[in-house]
Chains A and B, each alone.
Chain A
Amino acid sequence: MIQKKICLLGASGVGKTSLIKQYVEGIFSEKYLTSIGVKIDKKLVVCEDDSVQLMLWDIEGIDRYCGFQPKYIRGASALIIVVDHTRSQSLVEGIEIFRLARDVSDIPAILVINKSDLNTAWHWSDEELLDLSRPFSHTFRTSAKTGENVEQLFSVLAQHLLSEAGR
């Protein structure tokens, strides 16, 4: 078994905590609570003949008032940038966070477009989106509420990490 540190980043309210809660505990709550600082969860993912323990760092929402703290992503093996397709600004901020993170680390990053249970309400076209998601290793459309693609997101990530570790 290997352990890997994974950081979830994104603007406030895009659903980082809900994604982890859905993934780790299988629960979704409509209640919104702002995360302060960092909350850490763990989940053991068993692949065919190996396993990886993900240490999921749920980092508080980043916006213009609360700056990006590069120390938290130190030593991480992958980044998950979460955006909300009902808010255009969240993608702008997500791309900005990704850019800032790239300055300090070149670890792989996954773009997660969350709240897929709701209708799209941003002005980005699919082409533009494809263009923006190019630097990311993978892009997922997920719903923390229905659980859509959540399991898949993390299992793809786990497999990626195991293959990277040469296992």
Chain B
Amino acid sequence: MSSQGSNNEHEQELQLHALRQIMFGKNNQHLCDALRKNAKEIVSDVFSEALKDRQDKDGSVKKVMAPLVDKSVEYSVTNRKEQFVGYLYPIVGSVVRKSVTAFLSEFIERTNQLLENSLTIKGITWRIRARQAGVPYANYVASQTFNYRVEQVFLIHRETGLLLRNVSYNQQYSEDADLMSSMLTAINDFVSDSFKPNIDGLEQTLSIVKTDDFTLVLKAGPSAVLVAAVTGNMPQKIADQLQLTIEELHSLYEKQLLEFEGDAAPFADCDQQLTDCLVSELKETVKQKKSKPWMAWSILLFITFGLSYYAYKLWLVQDYVQRIQAINKQPGVMLVQLERNGIQQIKLDVLRDPSATPINQWLSEHNVPEKIISLTEKSYLSLEPQIVQERVNAVAAQFAGITVVEKDESIGLIGKLNPKQFNELNLALSKLPGLTNIQNIIEDVEIVEASRPEQVSIDNSAGINALIQLKIGQINSTAIEFTIDSIELSPQAQEKLSAVTAQAKSLLRLASKVRLDVNFLLMGASDSKGSQSYNEMLSVKRAQAVKDVIQNNGIPADKLNAIGIGVIDLPAAGNGTRKVLFNVITTQASQQ
């Protein structure tokens, strides 16, 4: 029964095989042919999805594709170089630009920092202090600039104490990082060996080590220890960050840590995590420095203020100089030199007549502070009318009996004086420089006899005689000049004659007081041009002309003798010889 059944099955199988061969062809030939016709469409419909699924499943697509892509790129670079350069050019250009920009900005920043640290007072002070403290300058700057800074981070294999990886701000720290790792591990071993296990039965481990410069923070995981060297005041957040980092590293490198046999290469990729731990915080003062440069502003303000003050002072002094110029118009004062001396001082050199207003008084009247003036004053005698007048005023003030009055364009004295006082006045006035018309000034002064004439005459006679001599001298020195071949009197000559007449009158008055006879000899002369007889006649006419004028002015004719003395033969004298000279002849009158 059973053998029959099996025969049937075998037969069915054969029939089915025959049917398959008819339908699909030998070796599925028909089926393959049919599929091949549409193979492209069928594969392209699912190609991308299939690649993705396979890649997700075992990652084998990447492995297969990578060599293909490598070869394709290599082929392109070798055979189609220009096209390839064309593709890369924009990317490379921008990358290079970016890199150069980054380099430049870093360079400028570093230079600026270097300048700030080297050339400022702060930088120099820091250098000195760093030297005193015996620490490297960079460390000192960090300690002054940062609240805290993580200088270096070590990842240490816990069991062997070998260094897996380290990163630091400063390359100099990195040299002996492996030794430090081992020593830290040894110290940790010592600690756990020396102290009893904690209440949980776990070994005692170091978590913080403090030195003068550093705080070492240790965070231990099951297989590795993360250590950070921190300068400054370490905040708790660093410990927290280290904890997170060591946990992350354990989860990322669990297998590598367990299988560690001294080769640290697999840990090269954990630099990013370690670098994230190199955190720092700037001090407040440093943070604010850039936003509010108070120092710079105050210096600028100080300079501006200083310059304004200097300009103001300069302007003030210049103004004073302008004002002082006016001193030159002051009678009896002559400005020699006036200039600014520095910004505070004015140098003033003047000549001043003693009768003129004192310089200090003038300055205070014109609101110029004396302390800024460096004054050099020399005396001189001024002939300016105002000053001469001042002198007359001063003399007049010494005599009680007279007062000063305005007279024509000049001044005159009026009043009564006894002869002694009159003499004194006359003497005082004659000593005054620049005073030519004394007679005009004193002609209105009346001489009154003192109550005791005897005594007065005795007292006065000497004074009057002296005065007479003075007058005689003045009259004798007078000469009236003429032009060639002329007897005409010029206005100047007229003026001189008026003065001489006044003097002569005065002399006659004085002479009568001491009983003296006075005669005036008028001597006409001419130059040597022309004939002698003509010249003699001309000289007489000139003397006569002068005599006429004086006589008309009120001098008695019997006191006047006009004579011609002819030619005065002095060729060198030129015009000087055409003149009339005066000579006073005195004789003591008889006592009657």
Contact = CB atoms under 8 A, between A and B. Distances in A.
Interface of A: 1-5, 37-38, 40-42, 52-53, 55, 57, 69, 71-72, 74-77, 161, 165
B182 interface: yes
B179 interface: yes
Contacts of A1: 263
B261 A37 contact: no
Given A75-B157, A75-B160, A55 B189 contact: no
29 contacts: A2-B262, A2-B263, A3-B262, A3-B263, A4-B162, A5-B160, A5-B182, A37-B186, A38-B183, A38-B186, A40-B182, A42-B179, A55-B160, A55-B162, A55-B179, A55-B182, A57-B182, A57-B186, A69-B189, A69-B193, A71-B192, A71-B193, A74-B159, A74-B160, A75-B161, A77-B160, A77-B262, A161-B262, A165-B262
A3 B179 contact: no
A145 B261 CA distance: 33
B485 interface: no
A25 to B, nearest CB: 14
A141 to B, nearest CB: 28
A40 B162 contact: no
A52 B264 CA distance: 12
A5 B193 contact: no
B588 to A, nearest CB: 140
Nearest to B181: A55
A3 B264 contact: yes
Given A55-B182, A75-B159, A165 B261 contact: yes
Contacts of B263: 1-3, 165
Interface string B139-168: 000000000000000000111111100000
Contacts of A53: 178
Given A2-B263, A161-B262, 15 more contacts: A1-B263, A3-B178, A4-B162, A37-B186, A37-B190, A38-B189, A40-B179, A41-B179, A42-B179, A53-B178, A55-B160, A71-B189, A75-B158, A75-B161, A165-B263
A149 to B, nearest CB: 25
A40 B158 CA distance: 16
A14 B83 CA distance: 74
Contacts of A42: 178-179, 182
A3 B157 CA distance: 11
